[in-house]
A and B are shown apart, each in its own frame.
Chain A
Amino acid sequence: MGADRPEATAPDRRDKTSPWPVVVVLGIVLSEVGILFNLYPVSVTGLLLFTGSVAGIVTEAGYAVRPWRLLVGLGAAFVVVGLLIVGSQVDGGLASYLDAAARDDGIVQRGYTVAAAGAIAALVGIVGSRTVDRVVFR
């Protein structure tokens, strides 16, 4: 994608600045700390920063025209990962997943945290793609 849009990358290379790397790092750090210590707000914040900044930096680098589709994809991936984590502790169908949400189980809580953060990111991506003007990203 980037190869066919050299005009998007060239000015960035000359500028030699980007606000995104620091945010990507903050997202990774908060995600890791939050998930390990099961700190719900920290995990969600970290994962949102991570998904958002990856979508942002990829767009800025010229590998994507707009960030929304990638944001939706990353969010969906985290939903899947989160549900897989929950699934490792749950047997049965939807009802057992719902029951597990009420349990005081650290691993299940972490799984739902990841899934919830992914769902928020995907939602932001969907809303953004329908509301934010394309021109901003040209």
Chain B
Amino acid sequence: MGALLVGIGAFLARTENWRAYAPLAGDPAATGGSHEHEQGHGHKPSGIIRWLTTVDHKDIGVLYGTYGVIAFLWGGVAVLLMRLELTTPTSTLIEPSLYNALLTSHGITMLFLFGTPIIAAFANYFVPLLIGADDMAFPRINAIAFWLLPPGALLIWAGFFTIPLPVDIGPAQTSWTMYAPLSAQQPNPGVDLMMLGLHLTGVSATMGAINFIATIFTERGENVTWANLDIFSWTVLTQSGLILFSFPLLGSALIMLLLDRNFGTTFFAVEGGGPILWQHLFWFFGHPEVYILVLPMMGLVSWILPKFAGRKLFGFKFVVYSTLAIGVLSFGVWAHHMFGSGMDPRIRASFMATSLAIAIPSAVKTFNWITTLWNGRIRLTAPMLFCIGFVSNFVLGGITGVFLAAIPVNLVLHETYYVVGHFHYIVMGMIAFAGFGAIYYWFPIVTGKMYQKTLAKWHFWLSMIGVNITFFSMLLMGYLGMPRRYATYDFNPALAPLASVELLHQVTTFGAFLIGLGTLVWLWNIVQSWAEGPEITDPDPWNTKRDGLHGREFAWFEEQLAADGKLATTDGGEASDASRGSSELRSDGGEADEEQLATDGDAEEQAQPTDD
């Protein structure tokens, strides 16, 4: 520990010294080289120190994104192992205890280490650009919020790392809901480590939320008002409000659970507050968490989908109002996760009413997206495909949720695969889809490159087909009564149709591997295109100017290209044929072939198959 303190002291002395006494303004040797758009901020150190010390919102956005992708891969590998195990009713590949651990890790990883951070990645990079701010309101707190995440993940996963070691610490087997008394009574220190890690990620999310609220309220540019604030920033603002009111509660509940586990308190013991208290506290956080994850993704789709429909978002105001309505309602529905817990039927009925009411603002959004598409000039680019897939999956995931909100149906289907199918249509079919769409849409801005069109479409179709095979099979299994969370299902065939359940499990596993294959295609596409793809010189790679839908972030991108001398149309007449063609096409009244219009961004795009 002493050596650690000395090492940190040396690090601080070195970096503070460089900052305080050797300002690097104008020193090109000291400028980080990997990011192309830093002409106005050329003071950054190079290498790993740059990434450890950056407080630039764009850098932190990239860090969040990288982190989210790593977590997504971890959670994906965990679930593929589980799906392999479930191809047979008996335990064959992994022990039930490891299955339980993977189940726990998959849930927590995907929600806290992938879902929330990947939204923070988009929000960090693009909200300041969209609102005309030069950075977040509190850049250093922004960096602290990100750096809390890696140790959080290491603690959450710690039990897996210690499996080969001769220590008595294993991965937690509590499921992501950590219900008492199971979570309070498991003696494994890996559970404590996981809860500590979860606590850190909660602190991180709260700090980030405060920062976004302050940024959107106080750092908007002169021309950005509440009336013309973009839909993505509206959803991030609403999400940040939800985080502010729900994550501190999770943090407090986790501390109470840790106290129960380690210090003999009885918050969630039968002789104290009771196990149901945990469920109330957890779901008071947990249901808003669903909207914390989905609202910004709805914002992304509301932002991107109109660009490729050639029309403004239909009913913008009502999309904003529905966002706010969902945000408020989300705090009044938590007990629908507990309909089977024996609560007072009158309270249960009131929660059913509020839960069903959420269908109204949700439907407002869905109809507005569909109406935006109606009579639009649809261009099926990869971002657009993912947006349309998002809407399609939301119809299935949303309507199954309406059924689950009804108490009589819920009492039959709760704790079955129906629930798993329902919420995976939301988290994979919507949240991940919107994330992929946004990554493709903003890939040119973040990397200065263009991705490969054919691979992106393979990715979409593998994911879309995979999602619907996987999660529709789960809905069917739920109807057959297959309970969720079980490592084995070797039950008596006289009690339930074992053969059908086994077949559906195998179909589900096949679908999951399709999604996995699509994800590998995506990863390859992103990495290779970023490393080797041709540079973008067209500031409007999606031809949105033609429809008057050019966003503020692409206007910023144009300024960066101009500053870097890379702008195709202002570089002294050296623009390629394709670029000139682009200008002509844009001014010809839009009569040209859609595909041509969309792929004529610049010369380099022609050199490599890229998306339209």
Contact = CB atoms under 8 A, between A and B. Distances in A.
Contact of A19 (B1, B11, B41): B11
Interface residues of B, number: 44
A56 interface: yes
A48 interface: yes
B12 interface: yes
A127 interface: no
B206 to A, nearest CB: 13
A28 B54 contact: no
Interface stretch (A9-17, A76-84, A93-101): A9-17
Given A15-B43, A29-B151, A107 B53 contact: no
Contacts of B5: 45, 48-49
A102 interface: no
Interface stretch (B92-100, B137-145, B240-248, B588-596): B137-145
Contacts, number: 103
A47 B147 CA distance: 17
A6 interface: no
A17 to B, nearest CB: 4
Interface string B134-157: 110001100110111001000100
Nearest to B52: A22
Contact of B19 (A17, A29, A44, A45): A17
A55 B43 CA distance: 24
B148 A15 contact: no
A123 interface: no
Interface string B48-66: 0010111110010000000
Interface string A13-34: 1111111111111101100110
B151 A16 contact: no
Contact of B1 (A24, A45, A136): A45
A60 B15 CA distance: 12
A65 interface: no
Choose among A13, A16, A56 the residue with the greatest number of B CB atoms under 10 Å from its CB.
A16
A16 B23 contact: no
B132 to A, nearest CB: 16
B200 A29 contact: yes
A45 B1 CA distance: 6
B200 A42 contact: no
A126 interface: no
B16 interface: yes
Contacts of A41: 1
B196 A33 contact: yes
A55 to B, nearest CB: 12
A22 B135 contact: no
B148 A61 contact: no
A26 B152 CA distance: 11
A36 interface: yes
A69 B6 CA distance: 23
A13 to B, nearest CB: 7
Contact of B53 (A19, A32, A49, A56): A19
B602 interface: no
Given A20-B140, A25-B144, A45-B1, A36 B19 contact: no
10 contacts: A13-B134, A16-B135, A17-B50, A18-B139, A21-B55, A21-B147, A25-B151, A36-B192, A36-B262, A49-B5
Given A15-B44, A18-B143, A21-B143, 16 more contacts: A14-B43, A15-B43, A16-B59, A17-B19, A18-B53, A19-B11, A19-B16, A20-B12, A23-B8, A25-B151, A26-B151, A28-B148, A29-B151, A36-B196, A37-B192, A57-B140
Question: Closest 5 interchain pairs by CB?
Answer: A21-B143, A19-B15, A16-B56, A25-B147, A45-B1
